[in-house]
Amino acid sequence: MPRGPSFDERIMDLGAFVAPPGREPWARAMRAEFEAIGGPRTGWALGCLGAAAGWRLRVDGVYLLMFALTAGLAWRVLFLPFFWAVHLNLVPKDLQGPAFQYGRFVVPAVVCLAFAAVHPRYWTLVGLGFPVAFVGLGVIATAHEFHSSIWDVHPFNATLEVGTGAQMGYCLLGALIGRTLGSARAARSA
């Protein structure tokens, strides 16, 4: 029965995927050494992935950082109408919950979807970087409250963690759908 790629091989594949085009020979060089290792290879594979990620960040880091900050800021702005609509009771009571959740989860997921559709290669970075930027900006905006509440985290009061996790999940899902759409579009035009 044919064997699928091992965990180590998947890490190496990811490293080759992440490496920028200019570093492709070096990614192949690391892969060739990986193939030559007789014993455990996970450490080598993880190091290669780290090196590839570093090369990618050097090439696209500023661009991705600017995207994450801009998108995070845009998300905050897009979220405000939903927040105020609920806060000022402009939305019927039974729709307030869905409106709030729509602003918090669906809008960012759609933004991730759109970006990943244009840049399918960056879907994981977008799906993770975007919510991190959003949460980061939120922490900065509410630094005084955050500072006093950050020490108050315990297992029975995990609202912040659950909400953040859900945001990341929505963003990753949006980015995944966007990547699928973007890849299909690229395949059609090829």
Partner 1 sequence: MPTAPRRLSDQALSVLDTLQGGGGDAWLYGLEIAAATGLKSGSLYPLLIRLSERGLLESRWLEPERPGRPARHAYKITGAGKAVLREARRPDEALKFQGAF
Q: Which residues bind partner 1 (CB under 8 A)?
A: 23, 25-26, 28-33, 35-37, 43-51, 54-55
Residue number with CB closer to partner 1 (33 or 161) = 33
Residue number with CB closer to partner 1 (25 or 155) = 25
Provide CB contacts within 8 A for 105, sequence distance 6+: 166, 167, 170
Q: Is 2 helix (H, G, I), strand (E, B) or coil?
A: coil
Residue number with CB closer to partner 1 (30 or 71) = 30
Quote the least distance from Cβ 67 to partner 1, whole Å.
25
Quote the least distance from Cβ 37 to partner 1, whole Å.
7
Q: Give how far the C-alpha of residue 28 lies from the chain's centroid of Cα atoms, to the nearest Å.
A: 26
In this structure, is the dihedral angle defined by the CA atoms of residues 163, 168, 174 and 177, taken in order, positive or negative? negative
Quote the least distance from Cβ 24 to partner 1, whole Å.
12
Please identify which residue in the block is written with the tokens 């044919």. Answer: 2
Quote the least distance from Cβ 106 to partner 1, whole Å.
38
Residue number with CB closer to partner 1 (34 or 105) = 34
Residue 137 φ/ψ region, left for φ over 0, alpha for ψ in the -120 to 50 degree band, beta for the rest: alpha
